[in-house]
Structure 1
Amino acid sequence: MDILAAIGSDIALMQLNGIAQKLKFKALQERAKEKIADIAESRELTVAELEDRLAPDLGLDDNGSLLLDFGPRQFTVSFDETLKPFVRDASGSRLKDLPKPNKSDDESRSNDAVNRYKLLKKDARIVAAQQVARQESAMCLRRRWSPENFKLFLVEHPLVRHLTRRLIWGVYSAENQLQACFRVAEDNSYSTADDDLFTLPEGGISIGIPHVLEISPTDAAAFGQLFADYELLPPFRQLDRNSYALTGAERNASELTRWAGRKCPSGRVMGLANKGWIKGTPQDGGWIGWMIKPLGRWSLVMEIDEGFAVGMSPAELSAEQLLSKLWLWEGKAESYGWGSNSTQEAQFSVIDAITASELINDIEALFE
């Protein structure tokens, strides 16, 4: 990791970021995250901004596609809502797979094209889930981009553009209030729910992915119909996303008891790591008894029983986990541990409606 960080090239940093995202060994994963954070700070960027710059283009052209040349036959690569590549023939028809070369094809060109497509599919599998997760996280965390960075890193990026075109975007005021919604068309222009040309307003605006709780019912219905007309599937649930609210009593409490005593599959608890949750710090014998969701200056702590141990295989896990306690702690997630600052509880009234909805959504999904 030190070597990758020292190299400093975008490719090396992409590899380092992959370690930070996926490595199973927490100590090494944290080390990689620290390196990424240090590099971001040295470039005067946030980690998310650095990740924007590290998104791979997979060798795609400026239109986000790739030409596979068989000589007399040519095929064009595009991507679906999960960034899975597929091919179209010269007439634009989508094919089930890249055809095998035949006798009329140029042998050298067709073999090169077949190998190139195999490599592309392999590379896409590696980066697709991470890029989709980044966009969903940006919506949940209410991340914003300047119009210039939005265009550069999301609209014009050869790979990321395939996700950008499948989402509804919002213009936000300097006070972070949603002013208007738009989508990005195939030609990279912006359009309204009525499919009219949309121009970004002047002034101190920013761009973000609006949560369903922000979008008016009228806009949601209109964009939903427009996406259906164009047969555009989103990379994750946006318009039809489950939304929830805390009760008045829950907002004034530091603990959520609506799931107390319920059991859920262990695999789903482990899967919370894909939604931004962090495994608890290993205790005696490497045992982990909680998951924690970072919320800036606060953290949501989910205590579980029986828990699991470091390095446990899926076969070694107990079938179910008991949710024994779910509460809000005032402190950074990385600093939490048994017996540390346990009295610094916070009321749920400190978090906004979107954050609350997403937290409830995470927990409800454990029991689906």
Structure 2
Amino acid sequence: VVGFDEQLKPYVTDPDGKPRKALPKPGAKDDAELAAVEYKRFTALKKDVRTVAAEQIPRLESAMVQGRHWPAAEFTDLLAGHPLLVHLVRRLVWRTTAGQTFRCAEDGTYADIHDEEYALPETAEVGVAHPLQFADELAAWSALFADYEILQPFPQLGRPAARLEEAERSATTLKRFENHTVPTGKLLGLTKKGWHRGPALDNGLEGWLLRPTPDGGAVVLNLDPGILVGLPAEEPEQKLTDIWLDEKGEGAWSPQGTRVFGELDPVTASEVLAELTDLTR
């Protein structure tokens, strides 16, 4: 039997249910020709699924961070009912916009925090639950997943939560990360976490990175000297000069507007703080 782990890596189990890293070698009673075909098939499966996992796991994590939701019918058909993606869906806690958390059980039904069957309303909208959205249930869900030995495709239940300091909530710039110098390569790694490089200006430099926020604005991270288009290694290090909020989501060489960081929703604030902390560590 072929199955998939938390990273969508395929594995096989023998007739006794014992996991194996690869297909067993053909025995004397096996069809040598068919066995060779199946070896090739399993190798191709591993390659194909590796490509899918590289796209879909970050996609679901991004959906959690950005607060994306699916109508109940789409969630059931395209995620929970998908023959491959269901292996990821079962390893996450989901939440309706009404606040109900649940998981997808092995038999395809939904179960609540008490491990009792949950009927998903047809009118519900469903998203990957961020731990800040169900903090009062986090310990119970963590215990349930531990009991079932469910490993997650990305940090959800154990995801660090960060909060703005009181003074930062009324500030228009995030001072704690300013004037840090970081490797350009590490900085560009933020593009895998939802950040975008700013436009190339007349001198061929990209002077800032943008992280879109759910309200249509963006967190802007200004850089000195900036990233040279096509030649990022020309400037191996970048100094973080200003971190601010742009209501237009476009960015500029220096802070514009009067938005304060307390306007960010708790999930976005936590993710931005975690990402910038990791960047400057």
Do structure 1's residue 188 and structure 2's residue 101 form an aligned pair? no
Rounded to whole Å, the distance in 1 between the matches of 2:270 and 2:258 is 20
1:330 and 1:345 in contact (8 A); partners too = no
Q: Secondary structure at the match of 1:157?
A: coil
1:129 paired residue number = 54
Do structure 1's residue 208 and structure 2's residue 121 form an aligned pair? no
2:192 paired residue number = 274
1:326 paired residue number = 243
2:218 paired residue number = 299
Rate the CA distance shift 1:85–1:313 in 2: closer, same or farther, 3 A.
farther
Rounded to whole Å, the distance in 1 between the matches of 2:180 and 2:107 is 50
Aligned-pair CA distance for 1:251:
2.2
1:265 and 1:366 in contact (8 A); partners too = no
Do structure 1's residue 91 and structure 2's residue 4 form an aligned pair? no
Rounded to whole Å, the distance in 1 between the matches of 2:58 and 2:67 is 14
1:251 and 1:347 in contact (8 A); partners too = yes
The counterpart of 2:36, out of the listed 111, 114, 119, is 111
1:170 and 1:209 in contact (8 A); partners too = yes
- The one-letter amino acid paired with 1:184 is C
Rounded to whole Å, the distance in 2 between the matches of 1:330 and 1:201 is 35
Rate the CA distance shift 1:259–1:337 in 2: closer, same or farther, 3 A.
closer
TM-superposition CA deviations, 1:189-226 (whole Å, max 9, x none)? 11122322222257x43212221111133x21121111
Which runs of no fewer than 5 residues in structure 2 stay unpaired? Answer: none
TM-superposition CA deviations, 1:158-208 (whole Å, max 9, x none)? 1110110000111222xxxx1x21111111111122322222257x43212
Q: Tell me the TM-score normalised to structure 1 length.
A: 0.70
2:217 and 2:246 in contact (8 A); partners too = yes
1:281 and 1:337 in contact (8 A); partners too = no
Aligned-pair CA distance for 1:344:
3.6
Rounded to whole Å, the distance in 1 between the matches of 2:162 and 2:273 is 7
- The one-letter amino acid paired with 2:190 is L
Do structure 1's residue 78 and structure 2's residue 3 form an aligned pair? yes
Rate the CA distance shift 1:115–1:317 in 2: closer, same or farther, 3 A.
farther
Rounded to whole Å, the distance in 2 between the matches of 1:345 and 1:235 is 39
- The one-letter amino acid paired with 1:359 is V
The counterpart of 1:198, out of the listed 88, 112, 118, is 118
Rounded to whole Å, the distance in 1 between the matches of 2:90 and 2:124 is 20
Rate the CA distance shift 1:252–1:110 in 2: closer, same or farther, 3 A.
same
TM-superposition CA deviations, 1:266-289 (whole Å, max 9, x none)? 332111111111112223453323
Rounded to whole Å, the distance in 2 between the matches of 1:286 and 1:93 is 57
- The one-letter amino acid paired with 2:66 is L
Which runs of no fewer than 5 residues in structure 1 stay unpaired? Answer: 1-75
Rounded to whole Å, the distance in 2 between the matches of 1:364 and 1:135 is 22
Rounded to whole Å, the distance in 2 between the matches of 1:286 and 1:77 is 51
- The one-letter amino acid paired with 1:327 is W
Q: Secondary structure at the match of 1:225?
A: helix
1:288 paired residue number = 206
The counterpart of 1:357, out of the listed 259, 270, 277, is 270
Moved over 6 A (4+): none
1:87 and 1:97 in contact (8 A); partners too = yes
2:113 and 2:140 in contact (8 A); partners too = yes
TM alignment of 1:61-76, pairs within 5 A: 76=1
Between the two proteins, what is the percent identity of the paired residues?
40
1:63 paired residue number = none
- The one-letter amino acid paired with 2:59 is R
Taking only aligned residues, the RMSD between alpha carbons, in angstroms, comes to: 2.2
Rate the CA distance shift 1:98–1:308 in 2: closer, same or farther, 3 A.
farther
Rate the CA distance shift 1:78–1:317 in 2: closer, same or farther, 3 A.
farther
Aligned-pair CA distance for 1:263:
2.5
TM alignment of 1:255-266, pairs within 5 A: 255-266=173-184
Rounded to whole Å, the distance in 2 between the matches of 1:261 and 1:98 is 54
2:217 and 2:245 in contact (8 A); partners too = yes
Rate the CA distance shift 1:298–1:87 in 2: closer, same or farther, 3 A.
same
The counterpart of 2:63, out of the listed 130, 138, 142, is 138
* RCO comparison, higher one (Cα < 8 Å, 6+): 2
1:169 and 1:209 in contact (8 A); partners too = yes
Aligned-pair CA distance for 1:313:
6.8
Rounded to whole Å, the distance in 2 between the matches of 1:111 and 1:286 is 54
1:84 and 1:125 in contact (8 A); partners too = yes
Q: Secondary structure at the match of 1:130?
A: helix
The counterpart of 2:87, out of the listed 162, 166, 169, is 162
